[in-house]
Amino acid sequence: MRWIKALSAVLALAMAASSAIAEDFPPPAKVLFASEAAPTAGEPQSIGFYSKGCLAGAEALPIDGPTWQAMRLSRNRRFGHPDTIALIKKLSREAAQYDGWPGLLVGDISQPRGGPMLSGHASHQVGLDADIWLNPMPDRRLTLREREDISAQSVLKNDGTLFVDPEKFTPAHERLIMRAASYPEVQRIFVHPGIKKALCDDWKGERANLAKVRPYYGHHYHFHIRLFCRPGSPDCDPQNRVDMADDGCGANLAWWLSDEPWAPAKPEKPPEEPAKPPPKPTRPSYTIMSDLPAACTAVLDAPAPAELPQAALTPAIPLPPLAPWPEIGPVPTQRPRG
């Protein structure tokens, strides 16, 4: 498949670059996990924490369903714990049936074996996180190419404030997010603080579930659903539960809407003494396999199923032709001494 070749070329470059920086260090775990094209065979298991772990026995979200379309297929991040895949399908179906939401555009879930990624997220490593775009699904099937190129739309006002634009963020958006929050297997939902503010102001339904909807940076193009660790995953590290008695519409939201979270980081005070040369690093600055739970090394080494289900196969995505190399003219063969 063509995209796999393209991906491996990128990975080879990334490998070469990182080994040039740190010859003695093991390769980045994200390069190893990103180069796995298929999940492991066997029972599903989330191992480790949302931002430091991996996933065995993943299931793929089919690229198309009656009420969803998966986006950015070239990233190969539509794998998750089977409960995550089932929840996305259920949300897509119920939102279409009850909420006036025509269907989901599904962004990143996890890689076939979870783990850290080359770009984008700190979490999404154990197959229990999923990004859902805030644009409704169009009433036609997007082409594979469009799924790479179409941008998610921000629901914020264009004026640099933190608030949503009511033209872009509608009651149907609110029903969709609150439906996701209503599912007992969902432990948190991340949204932009402006979205949380709109929900706090407007939501007339069951307000207890507002506690699960947590403001965070970003998340005005998509919202992020996080499931609890699932039964059958004894090595899944749970995150603390949210306090369901606090809907988060008070002090927490006020803080997010203040200047404090958005202030630029203060410049570091220059050291008083002349700086010593930094000590030679004893470990790389990136995550390596020994930073992850030991079981993740076994996940990386485990065989794929003898035959992958149809849903796990990603079709070749037609890419535009590569731009020609720029003409740089003749290069002089003699070099000045220096």
Q: Which is nearer to Zn ion, 60 or 106 (CB)?
A: 106
Going from the C-alpha of 59 to that of each of 86, 106, 287, 315, the distances in angstroms are 10, 15, 25, 17
Please report which residue ranges of 82-226 form alpha helices under DSSP H: 82-98, 144-149, 171-182, 193-202
Q: Which is nearer to Zn ion, 59 or 131 (CB)?
A: 131
Question: Of 159, 155, 165, nearest to 223 (Cα)?
Answer: 155
Least gap, CB of 55 to Zn ion (angstroms): 15
Least gap, CB of 97 to Zn ion (angstroms): 25
**Cα 146 to the center of its chain, rounded Å:** 19
Q: Which is nearer to Zn ion, 50 or 169 (CB)?
A: 50
Task: Return the residue nearest Zn ion (CB atom).
Answer: 224
Least gap, CB of 77 to Zn ion (angstroms): 10
List CB contacts of 16: < 8 A, sequence separation 6 or more.
none
Least gap, CB of 304 to Zn ion (angstroms): 25
Q: Which is nearer to Zn ion, 48 or 289 (CB)?
A: 48
Q: Which is nearer to Zn ion, 60 or 189 (CB)?
A: 189
Question: Of 302, 321, 286, nearest to 15 (Cα)?
Answer: 286
Rounded to the nearest 10°, the torsion over CA 250, 253, 258, 260 is 110
Q: Which is nearer to Zn ion, 58 or 289 (CB)?
A: 58
On the 0-12 / 13-18 / 19+ scale of CB atoms within 10 A, 170 is: middle
Least gap, CB of 239 to Zn ion (angstroms): 14
Q: Which is nearer to Zn ion, 31 or 132 (CB)?
A: 132
Q: Using CB under 5 A as the criterion, which residues of the chain lie in contact with Zn ion when the complex forms?
A: 131, 224
Least gap, CB of 129 to Zn ion (angstroms): 6
Least gap, CB of 131 to Zn ion (angstroms): 4
- Cα angle value 216/223/201 (rounded, 5°): 70
CA distance 245 to 192: 21
CA distance 70 to 260: 36
